[in-house]
Every structure is written in C-alpha cells, then in structure tokens.
Chain A
Amino acid sequence: MNAAGNASLISFRKAGFTYRRGEEIEVPAVKGVDLDIHRGEFLAIVGSNGSGKSTLAKMMNALLVPTEGEVIVDGMPTDEEANVWDIRRTVGMVFQNPGNQLVSTTVEEEVAFGLENLGVPTAEMHGVIDRVLGEIGLATMRRREPHNLSGGQKQRVAIAAVLAMQPECIVMDEATSMLDPAGRRDVLETVRHLCRERNLAVVFITHFMEEAVQADRVVVFHEGAVAVDAEPKTVFGEGLDLDEIGLDVPVVTALSRGLGELGFDVDPTITEMEEFVEAICRLRSRT
C-alpha cells in the first residue's frame, strides 16, 4: 500500500538484468532493484543516458525477464511463460519513435489490431474503439492514416491502441522525446487525464525535468539502481546532488536557489511556477 492506500501493481524484488552476448558476460544494466508501482499512481523515472531506465521499463511487461530476483505484475511472476499475454494486457508500452510502432492504414484499425488478436467479437470491438478514441480526443480522426498525423497525434494513437486492451498501467519510454513542444504537452495532458479519470497507473520515463515535476512520485535511476525515490519536491528541491548523476532541476528551482545564494529569502525547494510567483510576490510585499 502507498500513502493513497493503493495496492502494488508491479513489484520488483531484488530484480536485476544482465545482457549476455555469447560467452561474454556484460556489465549488469539493472541490479538488485526493489520497487513498487501502485495502482493509479503517476510515476516519473529520470536518469542519464545509459542508466538502465529502458531496461527497467522492458522488465515491467515481460519484454525482458529478470536474470536475478523477480518482477511480479498483478500477482503474476513475469518469468512464467504462461503469464506473458496476461501481463502484456495489464501493462502496455509506448516507445520513443511514434513512426516505428504504428502498423495499420487507419487510426481505427490501429486500435482494433490488438483486439482482433484477442478474438474480441466485431460488435463489441466497435464499442471499445468508439470509447477509446473519444477518450483520447481522436474521434474525428478515426479514418485518417496514422502516417499523416503529427508526432503528438501518432503517440496518442499508440496510447489509444494500448488503452483498448484495458490495461492497468501504461509505460511511456521517452515517448515525448521526439515531439515538438506542443506534441509533448498534448501527450502529457492525455496520460495525466487517464491517470486521474481512469485510475490508470502511468510510468513516465523522461529527460525533461519539467515533465517529471508533474508526477506523484519521481524515481531517479542511476547506474542500474534506484538512487532516489520520493515526491518531486524532495527530489528536485532538497539539494540532492542531481548534478553528480547528470540531471538538472526545473528552471524555477534553479532561479530560487540562485536568489537564495544572493541572500534573498526564497524557499529553494520550489518546483512549480505558481509557487515561485507567489514567493516573489511575498518578497515584494515585505519590502
């Protein structure tokens, strides 16, 4: 259970993963991770290139099976072959490149693709497609070709296709990194909505600290292990040595710290724009 009383959906128990190539044994990409992802939470994962974030993500829906320890999804260990399909229905993935994961000629076929594979009857399938496209705001685009959509729209189609499988969790692996700013906002808003309204757990892997700040919880991943696991305020505000692990802080946090160093009384743990504006206004009214 977490603070909100939600049970664990994905549990890493001393889980590790080492890529092996032939006889050579490589350095482990993920080592001894204990981590719980709860139902309905919005978790951001940040970390430098090569920190093992993507390997960790792939362990969440049995795309990779731990080489040590275990990962359990909704009670199902990921290393049992018989669980794989149920696990992938429970935890859906959206990847970085929107162009590489769309396979169909229309938006609605893209969403239908997974349902057909499950043998869902046609009549029922139409209902699911209508509902999912409506929820993601793509209802008017159902007959469009995915390849002619913008990057943000393509990622929303990918999210819709995952959503049609009625998952409990959606994992976004740097899914905004190839998008323009409007596309990034669009995708982030969509997953936040799903998290709030549908109690869907969201795992959001990103290099953009301004996105991570909006999560309920932030995990800083470093050299294959969890370095910090806390709410955004603690992670970015409390002067943790993020520089050391190649990360930065949100702009308002950097401004607050800079002003603090110049002797102004500004809380250095500020992470949100509104808080910062309030703090500056308070300072002014005092002078």
Chain B
Amino acid sequence: MPIALENVSYTYAPGTPWEHVALSEVTVRIEDGDFLGIVGPTGSGKSTLVQHMNGLLFPSDGRVVVDGDEVGSDRKALRDLRRKVGMVFQYPEHQLFEETVWADIAFGPKNLDLDEEEIARRVRWASESVGLPEDILERSPFELSGGQMRRVAIAGVLAMQGSVLILDEPTSGLDPRGRASLVEQLRALNQAGMTMVMVSHSMEDMALLVNRIVVLSEGRVALAGTKREVFTQLEALETLSLDVPRVTQVMLRLRGEGVPVPLDVMTVNEGIDALAAALRGEKDHASQ
C-alpha cells in the first residue's frame, strides 16, 4: 500500500493573525516494506507531515495518494485508511485509559466488530511483538513503568493490524536498555513486512533502523536519500544544526587526523570493523 505525498503544502489557521505555513511543496513516496526516517529541527514540520499520511490533516495544496486513491473527506474511506495506517503519537502512554492492559490493547479491535477469539489472538500477537510479558496483561497500565506503558500504547495500535505504522519519537525518554529492545522489536516488525515511518531526533535510532531518510527544514524537503547518502552530507546537516550518528562523528574526526576510515559508518559494530580494517591494513603495508 504505497503512500505518496505530491507537492503537499499545509497552512495552519489560514486568514488569521496566527497563519503559519508548516509545509511547502513536499513530495515523499513510501513503498511497501520501507522504513522511512523523518528528521529535522523542532518546528520543521515533521509531525504535520506524518499526520497527512493517515488523513488526520488534509493538504492545503497538493495531494496525498494512498494505494492509488487520493485521500479525501469521504468518511468510510477515511475510516479504512486510519485502520490500515496506524499512528503512534509522541508520549502515547499519556493516552492509556482502560482498567487493564488487555482492555487497552483490545480497545481498537473491539470497535472493528471482530469475534472474541480474533480479538484475543490480536492482543496476544501485539503484546508479544513489543515484548510485553503475559502476566502484565491483567494489570492496570498505570502500575507499569514508563517503558512498559509506551509498549502497551504501541501494542494498541498494532492490534488494528494495519499495514503501515507511523511512530513519532518512539524511544524518547526511554532508558538505554528500553530503547535498545524497542529498536529490536520495531526492526522485527519491519522485517516481517510492515511498512514503517519514524520521526526521531535520535540519529542513533535512524542508523539502526531506517533505510531512507527525509530531512525537513522550515517545512521543505532539505535532503532525501538512503541513510548513507544523507549521513554523508555533512555540511548540509550542519547548516541545519542536525547531528550525524556518534560513530560517524568519530570517523570524521579520525579522517581529519589522516586515518583512512570510511565515513559511511553508523553503528558501533561497523565502527569497530572499520577501525580494525584501517589499523590492520596499515600494519600489513608496513611489514611488507
């Protein structure tokens, strides 16, 4: 179910003193099975952009085409769209409200008129997908840690079994372990075929997860490409005061000192391999 934003512009509160252009002529295409990352400084239009992907916002200009159909205001079509394209907002745990974890995750599927058995199957699948232990399902979500509450909220969206999942800052505020395990779970969902879109300030998460990146600046696409293409555009990223992953920063510094390491190195394991290769390569050279 490809999603295409074609020349999308969006203006908040048009014709009022608060008028604000949030997006200008943005074109983005998401293919089936993609993992697209969206980065940009605060206020660059990232959240406005993703809200166009499941019809929470409609373009002021341009159009959004999902699976060949233009997104419009037809209510039935919109309901189908929101079922297929799930959205996990920032700090989604603030929206939990049911008495038990089970009820919270089952809330969406129940509204789909599914039978009990199917609902139970979905709740189990969704909670397993985000690593929630079974004994938690009967507890109140409000007794859980922040990281577990975050997972319950994500499971609730997963239980709708859409084909696209959009996540806005999914790891923000989690401790390093919670972050690492959620990253693993998101990767597994994508590998199982789910199309994913992630908004994040964390270049480390981008390095571990996405295959393509769109960089927004003041509502426009400033850069787009594979993550390697984007993370090697250092000057452009610096102008936008955006970072590259920490390991890439180390490689850059070493290159500055004349150490022959590649720059498209983004994770710790890649970094160790690249450094070992560079150091060994020189040693072999010297001993010849």
Contacts and interface: CB of A to CB of B under 8 A. Distances in A.
Nearest to A152: B42
Contacts of A121: none
Interface string A201-212: 000000101100
B162 interface: no
A134 interface: no
Contacts of A183: 42
Nearest to A148: B43
B246 A210 contact: yes
A150 interface: yes
A209 B268 contact: no
Interface in B224-254: 241-243, 246-247, 249-250, 253-254
A79 B262 CA distance: 58
A77 B49 CA distance: 52
B41 interface: yes
Interface in A173-196: 174, 177-183
Nearest to B202: A181
B14 interface: no
A113 interface: no
Interface in A244-263: 246-248, 251-252, 254-255, 258-259, 262
B173 A96 contact: yes
A45 to B, nearest CB: 12
B76 to A, nearest CB: 37
B243 A255 contact: no
Interface in B153-208: 172-180, 201, 203
B279 A251 contact: no
A48 B203 CA distance: 21
B146 A255 contact: no
B115 interface: no
A249 to B, nearest CB: 9
A120 interface: no
A252 B250 CA distance: 8
Given A96-B173, A209-B176, A277-B257, A284 B271 contact: no
A284 B246 CA distance: 22
B118 interface: no
A207 B147 contact: no
B172 A276 contact: no
Interface residues of A, number: 38
A239 interface: no
B276 A151 contact: no
B282 interface: yes
A44 B42 CA distance: 26
Contacts of B43: 150
Nearest to A178: B172
A273 interface: yes
Given A264-B276, A281-B259, A258 B268 contact: yes
A230 interface: no
A50 to B, nearest CB: 4
Contacts of B276: 259, 262, 264
B146 A50 contact: yes
B175 A246 contact: yes
Contacts of B253: 273, 277
B286 interface: yes
Interface string B121-133: 0000000000000
Given A96-B173, A277-B253, 10 more contacts: A151-B42, A181-B242, A207-B173, A246-B175, A246-B176, A258-B268, A258-B269, A259-B276, A276-B250, A281-B259
Instruction: List the 10 closest A-B pairs by CB distance, nearest first.
Output: A246-B177, A258-B272, A182-B241, A48-B175, A248-B176, A251-B246, A50-B145, A181-B243, A180-B201, A287-B283
20 contacts: A48-B176, A150-B42, A179-B42, A180-B41, A181-B243, A182-B41, A182-B242, A183-B42, A207-B174, A246-B175, A251-B247, A255-B275, A259-B272, A259-B276, A264-B276, A277-B250, A281-B257, A283-B279, A284-B282, A287-B286
